[in-house]
Amino acid sequence: MQADYWKQKVCLVTGASSGLGLAIAKALAKREARVVLTAREVVPLEQAAQTLRAAGDEAQAIAADVTQQDQVDRLAEQIGSQYGRLDLLCNCAGRSDRKKVIETTPDDFQQLLDVNFLAAVRTTRTLAPLLIERQGHVVNIGSLACKVAPRFMGAYPASKFALAAYSQQLRLELGPAGLHVLLVCPGPIAREQSAARYANQTADLPAAAQQPGAGAKLRGIDPDRLAEKILVACQRRRLELIMPGGARLLFALSQISPRLGDWLLRRATSG
């Protein structure tokens, strides 16, 4: 592979103030890309960008709420006027949920669809002309829940299934124009105090529902390692990246036999 592939490429990462988004921004900066970080909260976003700049990397923070079209438009205008190009859009903004599906309201579904799916639609539609001109990359950060729908995750699987469908449509319609689209389907990402994130949502759920992946019997994925794999997958113009790779068998069996798939999914999760 080309060692300097990312050098001076203009790369936008949403949800970049922490977690996997920040790890991807750091991996790009390490390869001398020109990284634009965006997220809603100004202070943690600027702190993230400053961390990169302190290491001698080129990084710019532009605060934007990607659930709001006017803010996405301003973000695109700023990138267009400052750089005149865009080589990578990484749609990493999103959040998870914990709730029994029968107790998940239409408003709950709307909120997660907005941040996990429609935000990616907004940014991709708005920035597509710049990306196509460069035969660039769109990276959509999904989840194992793009392929199977575990218990007690509320509206989260539905929002990620939608992202998977959108990624395939983009590939089929814009791939011939040179746009590369990568769907990333990782298991739970390792992070500090992950269980505490859902403490106020899981009072009436099994204790395992508080854990990463709602009790999935999987080791947390190192975000830095995943970020490296994402950049390699882009260079190879792969269509999907699934971690752990063994989950592919569950996905295949679920398509062949939904009954068997449900049984295996119950076995693979606690609670």
pLDDT digits 0-9 by tens, 29-64: 999 999 999 999 999 999 999 999 998 888 999 999
pLDDT at 1: 77
Report the range of poorest mean pLDDT among 116-125, 157-166, 171-180, 261-270. Answer: 261-270
DSSP string, the chain: --TTTTTT-EEEEESTTSHHHHHHHHHHHHTT-EEEEE-S-HHHHHHHHHHHHHTT--EEE----TTSHHHHHHHHHHHHHHTS--SEEEE-------B-GGG--HHHHHHHHIIIIIHHHHHHHHHHHHHHHTT-EEEEE--GGGT---TTBTTHHHHHHHHHHHHHHHHHHHGGGT-EEEEEEE-PBP-TTTGGGGTTT-TTS-GGGGSGGGTBS-PPBPHHHHHHHHHHHHHTT-SEEEESTTHHHHHHHHHH-HHHHHHHHHHHB--
**Per the residue annotation, which of 83, 156, 166, 198 is the catalytic one?**
156
pLDDT at residue 269, rounded to an integer: 80
On the question of pLDDT at 199 being above 90, the answer is: no
Spell out a b/e string for 245-264, using b for 16 or more CB atoms within 10 Å of the CB, else e: eebeebeeebeeeeeebeeb
- Tell me what pLDDT residue 85 has: 97
pLDDT at 11 over 70: yes
The confidence score (pLDDT) of residue 197 equals: 59
Do the beta carbons of residue 183 and residue 143 sit within 8 Å? Answer: no
Provide the whole-model pTM. Answer: 0.93
Contact criterion met (CB below 8 Å) for 170 and 142: no
Percent of the chain past pLDDT 70, that is, above it, reads: 92
Higher pLDDT, 80 or 218: 80
- Indicate if the pLDDT at residue 204 is higher than 80: no
Give 87 or 199, the one with higher predicted confidence.
Answer: 87
Q: Are 151 and 211 in contact (CB under 8 A)?
A: no
Where do the domains of the chain lie?
A: 10-268
Q: What is the per-residue pLDDT for 2?
A: 87
Please, what is the average pLDDT of the chain?
92
Question: 82 vs 78, 86, 89, 227, CA distance in Å?
Answer: 6, 11, 16, 26
Whole-number pLDDT of residue 200: 62
156 flagged as catalytic: yes
* Nearest residue to 240 via CA among 186, 204, 201: 186
Question: CB count, 10 Å around CB of 32?
Answer: 15
User: Does residue 112 surpass a pLDDT of 80?
Assistant: yes
pLDDT at 264 over 70: yes
Please name the fold of domain 10-268: Rossmann fold (3.40.50)
Predicted confidence at residue 143, as pLDDT, reads 96
